Amino acid sequence: MTSPFLDGSTQTKTSWVYSDIVKDHFFHPRNFVKDDEEVKDYDAHGSYGSPACGDEMHMWIKVDPQTKRIVGCKWRTFGCASAIAATSIASEIVTKDGGMTLEEAKHLKPQTIIEHLGGLPDRKIHCSVLCDKALFEAIHHYEQTHF
Amino acid sequence: MRQVRQTWFGTPQKSTRFIYLDHAAATHLDPQVRAVMEPYMQEEFGNPSSLYGQGVRAGQAVENSRKSVAKILGALPEEILFTSGGTESDNLALLGYARAHAKGGKHIITTAIEHHAVLGATKQLEKEGFEVAYLVPDTQGLITAQQVKQALRPDTILISIMYANNEIGTIEPISEIGNMVQKYRQETGKTFPVFHTDACQATGYLDLQAEKLHVDLLTLNGSKMYGPKGIGILYRRRGIKLQSLQFGGSQEHNIRPGTENVPVIVGLAKALEIAESLRAKECERLCTLRDFFIREILTSVSHTHLNGHPTTRLPNNINISFAAAEGEAMLLYLDHEGIAVSTGSACTSQSLDPSHVLMAIGSTHEEAHSSLRFTLGRSTTKKDIEDVLDILPPIIQKLRLLSPLV
């Protein structure tokens, strides 16, 4: 087939493409709450967004009382592919290598999550990465109830 | 050779399944249509305005196409204008008529569920000093002739109401509204308001006879009828003046200058002819499949509801909200399985606003974000529908498992 394009390709590149990491987390989400029982012994819960804006995230955290590190992070999300993938990867980021301290997790930036996802389409950045705010709410809830 | 499919991720996947359920967005080019277009891209490439043989033959092809379209619309050939598509036809009808008749009045009536090609034009007219009434349909998407009548003012010059909605499939009572408008004009002895309908989704499913519909202006486009893209029709009842949107030569009665796109015009006429000949059979076949799908999905998946009218709807349109599952996520999971659909969720729209149609019929934001539109077409089989009925419920189940809204 003769290429209609300068780069010799025979298929157009899609203008709206998610990364392979987003794909992986979207189709194989990690750490989501399958059953309420799973988070029964978790220490705090936070949520952000609303169905009206198209995305709603809930996060539950389990905190080591001595080290104040996040040892468990679970979530539920109503939202698009990038919202689901962002929440999924954030739950991994905060719990890996023994877990982030609450102080570290409070400063988790959307940009860091996006970098871990291998980037997001521009117009998806503001609306779909809200999990850091849900996490912040959960930490705030923890601090209110455990200090 | 196995079919290699390009997915949204950009990585080709080996999949033999491809179920296309987005015929309201685009249709494939009918091979018969392509065949009649071919000669006008190669040997018969002449400019219809040229006086030598090649030009005359190209000109004849355009005029024969015009006659063929006119016949299906029950119109005169000179009442048919070829444009670049549905958007241009809608723009030309609204902007062209309103600007040419601003002295007669500055009031326009339309609906809140029109295509953006109409709503964009009315927004522009508002900037130019026109006042626009946006009628709100009932919860099933219906507008009544009575509603239109009540909105009429002495200075109403134009009414634009779509024939069938592209998102929820609801069919508007165009003939009844047109009849009311005609009577109103007779009673008042005025030449306006004129009545425009966007019939882009109606082709191949509904009667397009302009006389029966009592319309003065009617929009059609090629890409929804298994014809080429980039071509539209504006039916303009004889005597109706439109102000041009573009300037140049004398083509299309000086209203729409520019060298005629001959192969595409020929293709459109053929596509419309085929669509009309298959209409009765396809309507019956697709209504059966549509109703089967709706019945099955509403019973097999809980917390779902049909958007639009249960019976007064296009034979090929299904629009369902699946509570607590988000539209883009459902769409991409289905795409992964080789099924193409669309959604009214904000996440897939460039504006990031949820469907204005679903919002206008009183859906909540959540319902709009949770909607999927399946539009069937000529290639759709019972097997396709059964496959979707197998594949979709587990997807909904998985997304609901992730969702905090259940």
Kindly identify which residue of chain A lies nearest to residue B326, measuring between CA atoms: A79
pLDDT tens digit sequence for B84-117? 999 999 999 999 999 999 999 999 999 999 999 9
Alpha-carbon distance of A140 to A107, in angstroms, equals: 12
Inside any domain, residue A40: yes
**A56 domain-assigned:** yes
Q: Which of B369, B370, B398 to mutate to test the interface with A (most CBs of A within 10 A)?
A: B369
Residue B6: its pLDDT value, please?
41
Chain B segment 328-367 residues within 8 A of A by beta carbon are 328-329, 332-333, 336, 345-348, 350, 352, 354, 364-366
Q: Where are the alpha helices (DSSP H) in B205-319?
A: 210-213, 262-300
* Interaxial angle between packed helices B327-336 and B382-402, expressed in degrees from 0 to 180 and rounded to the nearest 10: 130
ipTM value:
0.90
Place of tokens 């596509």: B271
Determine the structural domain holding residue A115 and report its residue range.
20-146
| Strand pairing category for B304-306 and B4-6 | unpaired
Cβ–Cβ below 8 Å for B9 and A79: no
User: What pLDDT score does B257 carry?
Assistant: 95
Which amino acid does the sequence have at B346? A
Residue A13 lies in a domain: no
Nearest to A84 among B10, B329, B352 (CB): B329
In B249-288, the residues whose Cβ lies within 8 Å of chain A are: none
Given an 8 Å threshold on Cβ–Cβ distance, is B332 in contact with A81?
yes
Place of tokens 């996520």: B329
So what's the pLDDT on residue B282? 97
Q: Is A133 inside a domain boundary? A: yes
Number of domains in chain A: 1
**Which one is predicted more confidently, B203 or B344?**
B203
**How many helices (DSSP H) and strands (DSSP E) are in chain B?**
12, 15
Q: Distance, in angstroms, between B397 CA and closest chain A CA?
A: 11
The answer, for A114 touching chain B at a CB cutoff of 8 Å, is: no
Q: Name every chain B residue with its beta carbon within 8 A of the beta carbon of A34.
A: 401
- The pTM for the full model equals 0.92
Identify the three-state secondary structure at position A42: coil
pLDDT one-digit tens code per residue, B359-402: 999 999 999 999 999 999 999 999 999 999 999 999 999 999 99
Q: How far is residue B189 CA from its own chain's centroid?
A: 33
Amino acid at B87: T
How many Å apart are CA B236 and CA B202, to the nearest integer? 18
Comparing C-alpha atoms, which of B223, B229, B225, B200 is closest to residue B93?
Answer: B200
Structure tokens at B260: 């005629």
Does some domain include residue A2?
no
> Hey, of A35, A37, A80, which one would you mutate to test binding to chain B, going by the most B CBs within 10 A of its CB?
A80
- The Cα-based distances of B178 to B146, B242, B319 in angstroms read 12, 20, 27
pLDDT the model gives residue B351: 64
Contact predicate B113/B90, CB 8 Å: no
Residues of A in contact with B348 (CB under 8 A): 80
Order of strands, edge to edge, in the sheet holding B317-322? Answer: B304-306, B317-322, B371-375, B342-343
Q: Contacts of residue A55 in chain B, CB cutoff 8 Å?
A: 326
| Whether pLDDT at B121 is above 80 | yes
pLDDT band at residue B345 under the 50/70/90 scheme: confident
Cα B317–B306–B356 angle (5° rounding)? 75
| Half-sphere exposure (Cβ direction) of B48: Cα atoms closer than 13 Å | 22
Give the pLDDT of residue A11: 64
> What's A61's domain CATH number?
3.90.1010.10
Helices (H), B145-254: 145-151, 174-188, 210-213
